[in-house]
Chain A
Amino acid sequence: MNFIKSLSFKNLKRKPGRTIALVLLSAFLAFSVFGGSVVVLSLRNGLKSYEARLGADIVVIPNQARSKGTLDSILLQGIPGYFYMDNAYYEKIKEREGVDIASPQFFLASASSGCCSVPVQIIGFDPETDFSIQPWIQESYKDTISDNDIVVGSNITIPVNKKLTFYDLECDVVSKLSPTGTGLDNAVYANMDTIKQMMQNASDLGFDYFEGTSPDSAVSAVMIKVEDGYSIEDVNNDINIHVRRVTSTPARSMISGIAGGLEGVSGTITVIVVLVWILGIIILIVAFAMISNERTKEFAILRTMGASRKMLSGLLKWESFLIGLAGSVAGVLLASLVIFPFAGIIRNKLDLPYLLPGIGTIILLALGAVIISVGAGLIASRISSSRTVKNETGLILREGA
């Protein structure tokens, strides 16, 4: 068999045009299945991490925020924004029946002028009641976040001196968070006292964000955990009915919009990959059939020297294995060159949470893509060459050169 291997290698080498065409075809297959599965998996991952980061059962925001659609753009796209309601609403919400924990959050968009280092979303939390941001911070930073400390999302570059200034308040960057694949990666996190100071400074600097609310009593959103035994729906409706000028939304329904988008994109990708494969395999079968027809004489010659049918199949098997291997490795590498460096662009285009899977999963996907692409090549070559291999040699050789 060793000789058959080396002969297959020489055959491929001496027919570069044919070999390259087949390698490209199998690269195409591996590219589509690997690329498609990484994107789909990244979307699923993104959704999962978004769900985990949101962490709440219900999110309450002022009515004006809903009409602007700003919550989605802050949390998902990472477009800096702000909206406020008076702390009195928080106090009311907290007291509603079925509310286990209610924690206020504060959103502030940093300005692009001199008072701020970078234009980002700043999100403040109340250390006393917060249940969604602190567990996340804990994954990368064990200490408490003191006043004037900030933690940054994974997309934010930390300056060498580890200091960032927002509304003239210089803060120490103490940690960087793990990526979520959402707009949260573009935000900066601070405790309530710190962000209140920034809000006050902003107001003093003349930024008119607060529309009548006073900065020290302004709240942007309230995250709610529902008490055991209460239904999220009921608590949500109760707040919507009894607390005016705010909109309460179950987190699940915020997610389900995204989940719907994800299903759509995943479906489209799956359809494309399936079409590419159907087309690719048909082309492969036709190509191998044409090639093995062209090689009828070559096979007959090998038979006259005593090559058995099994050896001919072995030769073809090796050739298609080598082609499949080279092609699928190239396809996976090519897909990696597109998917990993351009993850940010893909995320923006899809407008959905997008979080690349871990390296282990990616290696498994790559291996899987190589294996099924090589397998497809082997099957295609077998289907299309079985007739040529079975030919009776004496029938082929009779005509001259």
Chain B
Amino acid sequence: MKINGKDLSRTYYRRSEGSNIFTAVKDVNIELSPGELLEITGRSGSGKSTVLNMLAGLLTPSSGTVLYDDLDIYGLEDKERSAFRNEHTGVIPQGQTALSSITVLENVLLPARLYNREASEDDAMELLSFVGIEGLKDVYPDQLSGGEMRRLSIARALINRPSVLLADEPTGDLDDENTKVVLSLLRNTADKGTAVLLVTHEEDAREYADRVLKMNGGILKEY
């Protein structure tokens, strides 16, 4: 599935001396195709997460549209958009995002179970071994390291075999070794035909990406 963000802008209400309206993202156009790993880099606060969340259907743009093929996802009701995201979009949010009251395996299966999808434990185990933490399946997330937690979010984002994967700083606080593991996992995913968007500060990520864009003060440019 091809994603197309057209003229995306987003303002936030933020108390300040001049205007209280702060434009975090301005007129961004972005295309993401199947099999492609697209990297967005840029300084902290430049608007990367804002763009990613708008593409994920999690943040309504102040103006502009987000198309999945020809479908305008913000034209959908919450219920349909949620179901659509569940089926087509894998999201790896910024930060630690495992649910603490269920085990690693249950976390991975969660997106499938939410909609009573067929995903079997075998599929989940396969993903866990793909990200290299199959031995931790019955552990609760509070016993995982930062790197294991990241790998868990990747496995979870892939359980419904989404055609789009949106990853927000998936290597955030990882050491070099783990960073490499996560980046090559994303590369592998793209190679299997998924459209992958990677938001990162990581210099090394460039080697894995097909294309790199840079966010600067809410404006997106070719790197």
Contacts and interface: CB of A to CB of B under 8 A. Distances in A.
Contacts of B75: none
B116 interface: yes
Interface in B82-103: 82-87, 89, 91, 93-97, 99-102
A250 B44 CA distance: 90
A304 B101 CA distance: 17
Nearest to A303: B58
Interface string A300-344: 111111111111000000000000000000000000000000000
B53 to A, nearest CB: 4
Contact of A304 (B49, B60, B93): B93
A145 B9 CA distance: 98
Contact of B172 (A7, A302, A311, A400): A400
Contacts of A301: 93, 97, 99
A303 B82 contact: yes
Given A11-B101, A401-B95, A306 B49 contact: no
B165 interface: no
B87 to A, nearest CB: 7
Given A2-B116, A394-B58, A397-B53, A308 B101 contact: no
Given A304-B58, A308-B79, A394-B58, A400 B94 contact: yes
A392 B114 contact: no
B59 interface: yes
A13 interface: yes
Interface string A147-160: 00000000000000
Given A14-B102, A305-B85, A306-B89, 20 more contacts: A3-B114, A7-B101, A10-B102, A11-B101, A15-B101, A305-B91, A305-B110, A305-B114, A306-B82, A306-B83, A307-B82, A307-B114, A309-B79, A309-B82, A310-B78, A393-B53, A393-B59, A394-B53, A397-B53, A398-B94
A117 B84 CA distance: 84
B156 interface: yes
A2 B116 CA distance: 9
Classify chain B's interface size: 35 or more
B49 A398 contact: yes
Interface in B108-130: 110-111, 113-116
Contacts of A91: none
Nearest to B84: A306
A10 B101 contact: yes
B18 to A, nearest CB: 22
Contacts, number: 101
Contacts of A393: 53, 58-59
B62 to A, nearest CB: 12
Nearest to A4: B114
Nearest to B56: A304
B83 A308 contact: yes
Contacts of B65: none
Interface in B133-182: 140, 156, 168-169, 172
Contacts of B101: 7, 10-11, 13-15
A300 B49 CA distance: 14
Interface of A: 2-3, 7, 10-11, 13-15, 297-298, 300-311, 392-395, 397-401
Interface string B50-89: 1001101011100000000000000000110011111101
Contact of B86 (A305, A309, A399): A305
A3 B113 contact: yes
Contacts of B172: 400-401
Contacts of A13: 101
A297 to B, nearest CB: 8
A22 to B, nearest CB: 15
Nearest to B88: A306
A15 B142 CA distance: 13
A305 B50 contact: no
Nearest to A310: B79
Closest 8 CB pairs of A and B: A306-B86, A394-B59, A394-B53, A14-B101, A401-B95, A308-B82, A401-B96, A304-B91
A306 B56 contact: no
B115 A306 contact: yes
Nearest to A7: B102
B202 to A, nearest CB: 15
B156 A397 contact: no
Nearest to B60: A392
Given A14-B101, A298-B99, A306 B79 contact: no
